[in-house]
Structure 1
């Protein structure tokens, strides 16, 4: 289990993390989300003892990271997958890590096979592709067979097969009762992998909730309707001034706002309108994240001004 209590980190006049408290429970995958500059990396570094908090503290399995006699056996971490000696082979990199914690050579072979690097295990890591480097970083995190995993952007650089592999791996590790904390900017992947979310913005906690509750809280409302009698149903619904009906680009699909599924369904039944679909609309994780963090974005994108050529053409 990971516990952060009142974590604060200041760099001179800048406060990167402010009074941040949360718990990461075993048995589920917890996503750690936030816009760029939110303080995620700083927080993970404090969890691992790489940065000293200005105030507050963090523990992993009941102890500060530095207090564990064999940290690799307690916490597997990947903050920067390419933080390796580029002249070493993948196998020798893992053997060097294993030697510092009394981990047997057989475990090195196991994790090499687990992450799919057997064929390149003796190649220098400096020549690895981004995806192969990610797999080596994950192998390093798994080397001590730890009860807790902290991974930053583990799917970065992986191909579709690799993304599916890491998704299933994280879920299986959590199912074994391990604590899994994963930071990622890929909302679509987090929606498929995580059950719980910790969301921060500008160094402060924004949400600590399940994925289902997070998206439900940002539900867009309305109902998606698919019917071969779209025009007829739209006319019936518009008789109520409180209902708004929008025809979507997809054929025979309407978006209805101001009425729930039951209201639309009853109206359709009363007028013998055939329905193929009647689905309440709910925000995706990406939409919910964008809505919740819109005031916590540190680096806003701006629309680039038109070039002189464009202005002249206009």
Structure 2
């Protein structure tokens, strides 16, 4: 479990994190989201004792990181996959880490196999691709068989097979009762693997909730209905606080009624339904909407190339940097 209470970090006049409190619990994958400059990296560095909070504290499994006698066996972390000695082989890199904690060579070989690096374990890390380096970083994080795993952009550089591998791995680790805390800008992947979210902006907590509730809160209360008897259905559903819009000959968009209420009204009137769907936004849309005022870095309109026709000019949309 990760427990942050009133975390604040200042760098001179710059406030990177301000009064941030959250909990990441065992048995779930907690996604850590925020625009660039939101304080995510600083927060993870404070969790791992790399930066000292100006105020507040953070504990992992009840302990401050600096008070752990065997941190690699309690917290596995990947913040920068390239932070390795490039002249060492992958296996020797892991062996060097293992020897600092009395971890066996057998465990080293286990995580090499788990990360899919068996065939390249003897190669120097300096010749690794970005994806192979990422796999090595994840193997390092798992080396001590920790109860808590902290990963920053774990799918960075991975190919489709690697992305599926890390997705399944994270879910399995949570199923084993471990605390999994990860940061990523890939909302599509976060929506597939995370069950809870901690969302920050400009160093402050914006939301701490489940993925489902986060998306539901951003989704409009609109239900799309298709029926060959759209007119009588509209009459049956009309009432105070209900808005019904016909978007096709047999299609209605309804606000002010739940799926259950619409279905019951249709059943009572003997009306057939071909579709009954509540509109739901994506995690990316929900994130963009909630953090719109917390984005520190906006793209600017790009000038069109010289000589380009007016019809070919386009402007870059402002948004969260990847």
TM-score clears 0.5? yes
Please name the residue that 2:296 is paired with: 298
Question: Which runs of 5 or more residues in structure 1 are unaligned?
Answer: none
Residue by residue over 1:46-90, the C-alpha shift from the partner in whole angstroms, topping out at 9 and shown as x without a partner, is 000111111111111111111111110110000011111111111
Please name the residue that 1:28 is paired with: 28
Please name the residue that 2:91 is paired with: 91
Question: After superposition, where does 1:4-15 map in structure 2 within 5 Å?
Answer: 4-15=4-15
SS at match of 2:243: coil
1:134 and 1:254 map into 2 onto residues whose CA distance is 48
CA RMSD, Structure 1 to Structure 2 (Å) = 2.5
Question: Which runs of 5 or more residues in structure 2 are unaligned?
Answer: 313-322
**TM-score for both structures, normalised by structure 1:** 0.89
Instruction: Decide whether the 8 Å contact of 1:45 with 1:51 is kept in 2.
Output: yes
Please name the residue that 2:280 is paired with: 282
Residue by residue over 1:96-150, the C-alpha shift from the partner in whole angstroms, topping out at 9 and shown as x without a partner, is 1111111110100000001110001111111111111111000000001111110
Question: After superposition, where does 1:1-314 map in structure 2 within 5 Å?
Answer: 1-227=1-227, 229=228, 233=230, 237=234, 242-246=243-247, 255-257=253-255, 259-262=257-260, 264-265=262-263, 274-310=272-308
Give how far 1:6 is off. 1.0
Instruction: Decide whether the 8 Å contact of 2:230 with 2:251 is kept in 1.
Output: no
Instruction: Decide whether the 8 Å contact of 1:48 with 1:65 is kept in 2.
Output: yes
Give how far 1:30 is off. 0.7
1:262 and 1:62 map into 2 onto residues whose CA distance is 45
Give how far 1:311 is off. 5.6
- Return 274-283 or 69-78, whichever deviates more: 274-283
2:270 and 2:213 map into 1 onto residues whose CA distance is 36
Instruction: Decide whether the 8 Å contact of 2:233 with 2:271 is kept in 1.
Output: no
SS at match of 1:305: coil
1:306 and 1:255 map into 2 onto residues whose CA distance is 40
2:307 and 2:234 map into 1 onto residues whose CA distance is 49
2:250 and 2:160 map into 1 onto residues whose CA distance is 33
1:61 and 1:313 map into 2 onto residues whose CA distance is 59
Instruction: Decide whether the 8 Å contact of 2:7 with 2:21 is kept in 1.
Output: yes
Instruction: Decide whether the 8 Å contact of 1:223 with 1:279 is kept in 2.
Output: yes
SS at match of 1:84: coil
